[in-house]
Amino acid sequence: MATETASVRHTSLLQERLWLDLKRLRKFLQQLLRNRIALVGLIIVLTFLVFAVAAPVLVGPYPSPLDRDSNVLQAPSSRHLLGTDKSGYDIFTILVYGSQISLLVGFSSAAVAMLLGTTFGLAAGFYGHHIDQLLARMTDFFLVIPWLPFVVVISIILGPGLATTIVAIAVVSWPTTSRVVRAQVLSLRERLFVERARAIGAGDTHILLKHILPNVMPLVFAQAVLTISNSIFTEAFLSFFGLGPQGVISWGTMVQDSWTSVALLRGMWWYFGPPGLFITLVVLGFSMLSYGFEEVLNPRLKHR
């Protein structure tokens, strides 16, 4: 009987906590959508996500060698809305499918950077002393080196590829998240709710997972959105120089192909313009969304 009562009470507490979390999430989303910058950024991001997810519906199956047109570098027409590239592929089709690789690199790199940065930031801020000093020096090392040349060097050493691109971008992105998390944890570990948890015998793992981590995750997500933006731009940069994912279509590889075809000098705006515009828009969208996150999480920014 006592066991059943305890089980019911535990279930009730979980339901109450879930309900409170959902209320907080709803309130946060309402504040985010009232922010005009964040709303515009969210619309841009969702548009490109729809392109990536619904590509087979929008433009048909992934292009194969059988789908190539015999006439390469065609101008836009009723058959090819943005003409054809140097291989005869429909530019609009590969442009839509290119969003999949660009967004995959962005989200994957941000996820790895968020995991590393959050782990190191929690450890450095919570335990302090020698652990903090060690992790702080390691973070400083990655922060002071020029990140773009460093990514290029990693890509050259490991060889071009999708996994290499994700790892290279994540390696130079996690220190910023680590710094943000560490600063927040240094403040949180001195709060009364943490002291109360210690007083009743809660261990470090319980305090970190139940009390510290939930309070730093909003900042982590805001930083992750900005990391996605930087990752997409970095992938395009690497692909332009032949160091990005190989054997797949991305906006960066499209820009590289248009450059090797001298599309700019030949006035083929439909070849180099759309991928460059898409890269700019999606980077802008994630940047605006990240800025909106920061304004909601830190209301003092609204008065500046």
Classify the C-alpha dihedral 128-131-134-138 as positive or negative: negative
Average pLDDT over the chain, rounded to an integer = 82
The CATH fold assigned to 30-60+81-303 is MetI-like fold (1.10.3720)
Per-residue pLDDT at 281 exceeds 80 = yes
Q: What is the pLDDT of residue 112?
A: 92
pLDDT tens sequence across 4-44: 555 555 566 566 666 766 777 677 677 777 878 888 888 99
CA-to-CA distance for 47 and 41, rounded, in angstroms? 10
pLDDT tens sequence across 249-261: 888 888 888 888 8
Token pair for 141 = 């090392």
The C-alpha R_g of the chain, in whole angstroms, comes to 24
* Pair 238, 155: CB distance under 8 Å: yes
- Checking 163-168 for CB contacts under 8 A at 24+ apart, the result is 165/105, 165/109, 165/235, 165/238, 165/243, 165/244, 165/245, 166/105, 166/108, 166/109, 166/112, 167/112, 168/238
Rounded percentage of the chain residues whose pLDDT exceeds 70: 90
- How much is the pTM? 0.82
- Coil vs helix vs strand at 35: coil
Domain boundaries, the chain: 30-60+81-303
Average pLDDT of the residues in 125-146: 81
- Coil vs helix vs strand at 30: helix
